[in-house]
Amino acid sequence: MTVTAPTTTPADRWSLVRQWLGLAVRLGLAAVWLVAGASKVGDLAASGRAVNAYQVMPYDVATVIGAALPFVELALGVLLLLGLATRLSATISAVLLLVFIAGIASAWSRGLAIDCGCFGSGGQLAEGQAPSYLPEILRDLGFLVLAGFLLIWPRTPVSVDGWLSAEPAVEDEDE
């Protein structure tokens, strides 16, 4: 009796790699949101001032958005960390990142000298201090790629989504 080793196709290998890559992407994006939210939650007034520095909405609206934003970021971080509602969390992440990229690009195009406030208080820069808009936009584009990955392949190992589903963690290629 001859025993043959099971053969794996490139699609099988990609499916396995994709699962674990997806876990790394999910946890990485979770860390981004948790750090961003935690860095602002201690000073909501400063977060409001950072949003106001973009000069795209009235002060009162900017301060409310600035005060709410750290909690949205923390919630996204927790959901992604748990792997709960991953596709929805990735969608909201992508929308927020697009808004952030548009805001930074708008500030840059209008010649504003501000710190984005992405991982801290942000706001107006001191006289003579140069903004770093291109690295901020590129960083957010990288985060957007991570969110896009999770939009396409939201199922990852070690997730509440996987535990709640009766289906195996490996997705079909048509999903």
Q: Taking Cα atoms as reference points, which of 173, 174, 146, 149 lies closest to residue 15?
A: 173
Domain membership flag for residue 39: yes
**Number of domains the chain contains:** 1
List phi, psi (to 5°) of 157: -65, 160
Chain segment 80-124, per-residue pLDDT in tens? 999 999 999 999 999 999 999 999 999 999 999 999 889 887 888
Q: What is the mean pLDDT of residues 20-47?
A: 96
Q: What is the mean pLDDT of residues 125-142?
A: 93
Instruction: State how far the Cα of 142 lies from the Cα of 83, in Å rounded to an integer.
Output: 20
- The model's pTM is 0.86
Give the helix ranges, DSSP H, for the chain.
Answer: 10-41, 44-52, 59-82, 86-109, 133-152, 160-164
Domain membership flag for residue 7: no
pLDDT at residue 174 tops 70: no
Domain membership flag for residue 175: no
Domain membership flag for residue 135: yes
Domain membership flag for residue 174: no
Domain membership flag for residue 121: yes
Instruction: State how far the Cα of 64 lies from the Cα of 51, in Å rounded to an integer.
Output: 9
Q: How far is CA 18 from CA 3, 75, 140, in A?
A: 29, 25, 22
Please state whether beta strands 123-124 and 114-115 pair in parallel, antiparallel, or not at all (unpaired). antiparallel
What residue numbers bound the domain in which 113 lies?
16-156
